[in-house]
């Protein structure tokens, strides 16, 4: 069997491969796990990236994944643990011996270590912190004090920093020391005697000047930074706006505390996207894992009740037009079609606006731009859908006027839905609410009321000719 040192040496000598984890590979690995063929398992895994190993483990049963995980050396296992899905990672954290967990957390960057400890019980996290390296433990404890959705919560403490009086030679030495254990180093940050951020120098610039040159003579003083309390979505927008790969984090006095890199922002964008989609439908998959059924119900119930109330309004509208429906019963067949299509159109519009607000592509101070663009889009969608359903309605009823009522109602409903779906998230944002929470359930129920009202009102006005 390959020992851990041999595994690492082999992995270093042989280039890793990008692979497709298909059913055939999974069957082979499952057979090897069942037969406990450790050497063959490691022989496969040593050529793979940690993310690919995690992907393989995610497709295994938790017991099988645990067996594979125990074979992997700590240096690789610490990265694999971060890439596992919630269910597999939670199982491993629950069953892993405390000494092993401490070793893995010690291999991680401080921001990743803080994320892992945040998933543990308070008692278990405290034990890990007590048995960690003192300096690492201090860094992680500092990060745990910040809100996990702020710059302080996603920053790492590992940072190349020198005094403004230091030389390039000293800066290069600092980079080399940090690079032995940590990756993603893009800049050397420069501070004054009290730790205030005063400048930055890229690694490329360090190679262009004489080793004895002082840092204050070549550093850039125009450094973009954020404070620890800035929301992670705003941090992501800073990265996008200024096209940067690393961002220093400071306190209110501008003292340097840590840095955020672009790989952290990729995680933020994925997390925020999943959260926005969950809110749009009035639920959150993460809450399903962490909360009791009663708490989940209380979380979702307000939006269900709001939707129920609006649907009651739709019921009152239908009741108001009982006479119209009793005379032309076929109208009832088209009501759910108009409600569904217009509601879905509005929900699509809301989803795009919520995402645009989150990424900074949409500025609510220029609200008319997205509204006009969505209206242009829904004019096309409404025309096509209205024509199709109008033709079907006319043929079904045997009269052109009935088809016109159905088609025009669909056209108007879709366009109103698009405008409402576009404007609701922006109004919510302006009022200080989370647009992802308010947009989805409200838009769907509201459009049921509007679509049915337009359809039946139009039909009633033309009833004598239907």
CATH of domain 161-271: 3.10.580.10
**Over 70: is that where the pLDDT of 43 sits?**
yes
Decide: 405 and 416 in contact? Cβ < 8 Å.
no
Question: Looking at per-residue confidence, does 304 or 426 come out higher?
Answer: 426
Decide: 422 and 348 in contact? Cβ < 8 Å.
no
CATH topology for the 285-465 domain:
Tetracycline Repressor; domain 2 (1.10.357)
Using alpha carbons, select from 389, 398, 412 the residue that is nearest to residue 336: 389
Using alpha carbons, select from 384, 391, 419, 416 the residue that is nearest to residue 405: 391
Q: How much of the chain, in percent, has pLDDT values that exceed 90?
A: 39
Task: Read off the pLDDT of each residue in 358-385 and give the average, rounded to a whole number.
Answer: 86
Q: What is the pLDDT of residues 62-86, one digit of tens each?
A: 999 999 999 999 989 999 999 999 8
**CA-to-CA distance for 385 and 398, rounded, in angstroms?**
19
**CA-to-CA distance for 209 and 135, rounded, in angstroms?**
33
**Over 80: is that where the pLDDT of 331 sits?**
no
Residues 6+ apart with CB under 8 A from 215: 162, 163, 164, 165, 166, 167, 168, 171, 188, 190, 199, 201
**What per-residue confidence (pLDDT) applies to 174?**
92
Match domain 4-149 to its CATH number in 1.25.60.10, 2.40.50.100, 3.90.550.10, 1.10.10.60: 1.25.60.10
Decide: 190 and 163 in contact? Cβ < 8 Å.
yes
Domains of the chain, by residue range, sit at 4-149, 161-271, 285-465
Count of beta carbons in the 10 Å neighbourhood of residue 109: 22
The four Cα atoms 132, 135, 136, 138 give a dihedral, to 10 degrees, of: 90
| pTM for this predicted structure | 0.62
Task: Read off the pLDDT of each residue in 273-295 and give the average, rounded to a whole number.
Answer: 56
**What per-residue confidence (pLDDT) applies to 397?**
79
Task: Read off the pLDDT of each residue in 125-135 and give the average, rounded to a whole number.
Answer: 89
Q: What is the mean pLDDT of the chain?
A: 83
Same fold, 161-271 and 285-465: no
Which of 60-74, 169-183, 450-464 ranks highest by mean pLDDT? 60-74
Tokens of 211: 């080793």
Report CA torsion sign: 330, 333, 337, 339: positive
Q: What is the pLDDT of residues 106-127, one digit of tens each?
A: 999 999 999 999 989 888 999 9
Residue at token pair 């793979």? 48
């Amino acid at each position: 069997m390959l020992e851990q040192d041999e595994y690492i040496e082999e992995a270093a000598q042989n280039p890793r491969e990008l692979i497709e984890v298909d059913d055939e590979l999974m069957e082979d690995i499952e057979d090897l796990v069942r037969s406990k063929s450790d050497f063959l398992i490691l022989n496969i895994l040593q050529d793979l990236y940690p993310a690919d190993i995690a992907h393989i483990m995610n497709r295994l049963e938790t017991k099988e994944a645990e067996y594979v995980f125990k074979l992997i050396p700590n240096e690789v296992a610490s990265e694999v643990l971060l890439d596992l899905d919630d269910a597999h990672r939670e199982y491993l954290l629950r069953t892993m011996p405390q000494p092993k967990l401490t070793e893995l957390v010690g291999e991680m960057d401080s921001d990743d270590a803080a994320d892992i400890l945040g998933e543990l019980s308070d008692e278990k996290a405290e034990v890990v912190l007590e048995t960690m390296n003192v300096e690492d433990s201090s860094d992680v404890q500092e990060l745990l004090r910040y809100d996990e959705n702020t710059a302080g919560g996603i920053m790492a403490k590992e940072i190349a920093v020198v005094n403004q009086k230091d030389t390039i030679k000293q800066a290069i030495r600092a980079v080399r020391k940090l690079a032995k254990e940590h990756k993603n180093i893009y800049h050397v940050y420069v501070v004054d005697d009290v730790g205030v951020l005063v400048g930055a120098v890229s690694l490329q610039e360090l190679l262009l000047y004489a080793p004895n040159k002082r840092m204050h003579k070549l550093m850039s003083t125009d450094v973009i930074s954020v404070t620890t309390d800035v929301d992670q979505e705003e941090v992501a927008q800073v990265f996008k706006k200024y096209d940067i790969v690393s961002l220093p984090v400071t306190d209110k006095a501008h003292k340097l505390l840590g840095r955020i890199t672009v790989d952290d922002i990729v995680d933020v964008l994925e997390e925020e996207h999943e959260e926005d989609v969950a809110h749009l439908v009035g639920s959150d998959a993460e809450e399903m894992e962490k909360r009791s059924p009663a708490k989940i119900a209380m979380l979702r119930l307000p939006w269900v009740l709001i939707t129920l109330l609006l649907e009651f309004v739709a019921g009152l509208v239908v009741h108001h037009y009982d006479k119209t429906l009793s005379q032309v019963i076929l109208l009832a067949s088209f009501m759910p079609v108009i409600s569904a299509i217009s509601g879905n159109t509005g929900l699509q519009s809301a989803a795009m606006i919520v995402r645009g607000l989150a990424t900074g592509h949409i500025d609510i101070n220029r609200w008319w731009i997205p509204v006009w663009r969505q209206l242009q889009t829904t004019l096309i969608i409404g025309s096509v859908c209205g024509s199709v359903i109008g033709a079907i309605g006319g043929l079904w009823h045997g009269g052109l006027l009935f088809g016109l009522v159905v088609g025009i109602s669909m056209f108007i409903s879709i366009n109103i839905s698009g405008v409402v779906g576009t404007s609701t998230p922006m109004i919510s944002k302006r009022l200080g609410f989370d647009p992802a929470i308010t947009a989805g359930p409200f838009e769907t129920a509201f459009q049921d009321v509007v679509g049915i009202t337009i359809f039946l009102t139009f039909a009633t006005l033309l009833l004598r000719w239907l």
